[in-house]
Amino acid sequence: MAGGPGALPEWDLSDLYAGPGDPALDADLTRAETEARAFHASFANTLSALSGEALADAIGRYEAIEEVLGRAMSFASLVFSTDAQNPDNGRFLQTMQERVTTISSELLFFTLELNKIEEPVLEAKFRSPALERFRPFLRDLRVFRPHQLSDEVERLLHEKEVTGRTAWNRLFDETIAGMEVGVAGETLNVSGALNKLSDPDRGVREAAAKGVSAAFGEKARLFTLITNTLVKDKEIVDGWRRYPRPGSSRNRANMVEDEVVDALVTAVIESFPSLSHRYYAMKAKWLGLPKLKHWDRNAPLPDEDNSDIPWDAARDRVLSAYSGFSPELGRVGREFFDKPWIDAVLRPGKASGAFAHPTVPSAHPYLLLNYHGKSRDVMTLAHELGHGVHQVLAAEHGYLMSGTPLTLAETASVFGEMLTFRALLDAERDPRRRRALLAGKVEDMLNTVVRQIAFYRFETLLHDARRKGELSREEIGALWMQVQAESLGPAFDFTPDYEIYWSYIPHFIHSPFYVYAYAFGDCLVNALYGVFREGSVPDFENKYLDLLRAGGTLRHQELLAPFGLDASDPAFWHKGLAVISGFIDELERADG
């Protein structure tokens, strides 16, 4: 960390590689290429006949090669996210993607052939303890068995990815990274301009909103083309794979049934009036406005402490909350601050938003944030640190089984946010500041649940409409405005310039139908945290740590069973949503 106390940290990626020109990177990929070819020669068309022990050995060799490729791609992605405007970084990322794709093509046969093994034959092989260890990997792999295409088609899709979806993703990222937004005489990047939407001065918020609208409006033709192309691309691939609907492939990857997602989405949509509509009506009154504009959604409240929070103070608040719940959680979390694993500096070209990248189990995760010093940034830090801790604790299962489905990947992050919020709320004695804290948390939860399900509904409408032909900017904007009005309610008066705001959401481009995972995780954690507060589950701390350590080895039913929770029960979602409703009830009582 450069500078004095409170200076923002920058990560050091040398635990992966010293730099794009590091000879170790080229040596690793050269070795991986040799091993991948030898692996293909040794095991192609043999898997069904292998003993359980031999098959376990093959999976172990496959995992080792994949981890080398994962390390290289993690490094390239992180370098690119540090400064996507630098053309050298873009070329480096593309070169790595092409080289890794070529190598992994030699390995593609393996998972395809594993899925061709008949169920009784595979089950007999599990008599080997060595293979039994990989049961979760094989279980999850075989979810995609009904959607697997011929080996030749699978290889074609795999190799064309670098000139297809991946290339469009890169174009989207580089375009946003290079954009400049004019805000009241300032020239800001997209992240900086979006941050101004939380400014206490309504004039600044309006100027930022109009600046964002203008900047993205100028690029609307490009973003419309990118979106239409990727949605059509997904429709083509989904059709070949016989997925019943656009979101099904994501649900399979999340190891969750379509019906469970439907239950979540339906429960949240039915709750719009009792959650977001009710809250934003109160917020309009607090702000003294007859109607809210879209630039008022994240406006600070009159009693909100909008002073800058130094980095050191943010770190201490989050670690104190983590350690107060579990010394082990706090210990793992502190590693991220004691070591150069976080990049929070604001710089041109840096990826907007925040993320936790798990990299590979033989290394460690890295966190990226854009820290502006506001209370929401503290909650973002708590959120991303939760991801990082989760990734560290699950690493023991190795490259193939440490990762969790997106629906469960949000568990530790949202739980970390809740721990931090509760610690702050419980320590606050001033009623006005307490109300501001509670309202801030409600807004975060609405952004996580209501806003993300609105995003999911927008994607559903978008993908359904695209099947009838290419969509214009105006048609996409109309769908966006429709779901925003539905989800945010009558307290808002949306100006026409808001119709372009769909175009800056990266999840629609990078991870179609990802967004419901946030709502899934938030409602899950609300229910989980409710059990914790009730004290109804003995040894909750250790059971929670076991949940995190399980990584991808267990499904959501098995992970939630020790806490007496079941996500397949519709009442589960209402239990989670009731937590948000209860907070709004408390605000209404205080308001009265």
Which residues span the domain enclosing 31?
Answer: 13-163
- Whether residue 553 sits in one domain with residue 424: yes
Q: State how far the Cα of 311 lies from the Cα of 293, in Å rounded to an integer.
A: 31
Residue 452 lies in a domain: yes
- Mean pLDDT of the region 332-340: 98
527-549: pLDDT as tens digits:
899 899 889 999 999 999 999 99
Q: Residue 215, class by beta-carbon neighbours within 10 Å (0-12 exposed, 13-18 middle, 19+ buried)?
A: buried
pLDDT at 3: 39
Regarding whether 567 and 444 lie in a shared domain, the answer is yes
- What type of residue is 591? D
What's residue 176's pLDDT? 94
pLDDT of residue 375: 83
Read off the pLDDT band of 243 (50, 70, 90).
very high
- Each residue of 549-562: pLDDT tens digit? 999 999 888 999 99
In a domain, 587, yes or no: yes
- 357 assigned to some structural domain: no
Q: Last residue of some domain: 134, 163, 192?
A: 163
390 in any annotated domain: no
pLDDT tens sequence across 17-35: 999 999 999 999 999 999 9
User: What is the average per-residue pLDDT within 471-489?
Assistant: 98
How much is the pLDDT for 592?
A: 64
Number of folded domains that form the chain? 2
Helical residues (DSSP H) of 106-150, grouped into ranges: 108-116, 119-125, 129-132, 135-141
User: Residue 465: its pLDDT value, please?
Assistant: 98
pLDDT at position 112 is 94
What proportion of the chain, given as a percentage, has pLDDT over 90? 83
* Same domain, residue pair 135 and 270: no
Average of per-residue pLDDT across 559-576: 88
**Are both 138 and 266 inside the same structural domain?**
no
CB distance 467 to 450 below 8 Å: no
Please indicate, yes or no, if residue 318 is contained in any of the structural domains. no
Whether residue 539 lies inside any domain: the answer is yes
With bands split at pLDDT 50, 70 and 90, how would you rate the model's confidence at 199?
very high
Q: How far apart are CA 255 and CA 405, in angstroms?
A: 7
Give residue 140's pLDDT: 94
Mean pLDDT of 461-477: 98
User: Which one-letter DSSP state was computed for residue 527?
Assistant: H
Q: What is the average pLDDT score of the chain?
A: 94
Task: Indicate if 592 and 454 belong to the same structural domain.
Answer: yes
Average pLDDT of the segment spanning 270-281: 97
pLDDT digits (tens, 9 = 90+) for 96-111: 999 999 999 999 999 9
The residue out of 163, 193, 215 marking a domain boundary is 163
Strands 181-183, 186-188: pairing is antiparallel
Axis crossing angle, helix 516-534 with helix 431-448, rounded to the nearest 10: 140
Same domain as 440, residue 293: yes
Q: Which position has the token pair 């994240």?
A: 298
Domain CATH for 516: 1.10.1370.20
Helix (H, G, I), strand (E, B) or coil at 183: strand
Name the 3-class secondary structure at 371.
coil
| Domain boundary, last residue among 163, 181, 200 | 163
pLDDT value for 294: 97
pLDDT for 5 equals 42
Query: Please, which pLDDT band fits residue 512 given cuts at 50, 70 and 90?
Result: very high
By the 8 A CB rule, do 45 and 113 touch?
yes
**Residue 388 DSSP one-character state:** H
Q: Residue range 74-97: average pLDDT?
A: 96
The answer to whether residues 288 and 429 belong to one domain is yes
The answer as to whether 524 is a domain residue is: yes
In angstroms, the Cα distances linking 384 to 196, 228, 420, 423 are 22, 31, 12, 18
Cα–Cα dist 505/352, whole Å: 10
Contact indicator for 378, 317 with CB cutoff of 8 Å: yes
pLDDT mean over 511-529: 91
- 362 belongs to a structural domain: no
Q: How confident is the model at residue 313 (pLDDT cuts 50, 70, 90)?
A: very high
State residue 425's pLDDT score. Answer: 87
Query: Same domain for 298 and 154?
Result: no
Task: Give the mean model confidence (pLDDT) for residues 228-240.
Answer: 97
Distance in angstroms (rounded) separating the CA atoms of residues 74 and 490: 44
Instruction: Supply the CATH number for residue 39's domain.
Output: 1.20.140.70
Whole-angstrom distance between the N-terminal and C-terminal Cα of the chain? 47
Whole-number pLDDT of residue 6: 60
Please give the Cα distance from 240 to 147 (Å, whole number). Answer: 8
Q: Is residue 590 scored above 90 in pLDDT?
A: no
In the predicted model, is pLDDT for residue 210 greater than 50?
yes
Domain match, 152 and 252 both: no
Residues 363-390 have a mean pLDDT of 95
Q: What is the pLDDT of residues 364-375, one digit of tens each?
A: 999 999 999 988
User: Do residues 251 and 155 share a domain?
Assistant: no
Does residue 201 have a pLDDT over 90?
yes
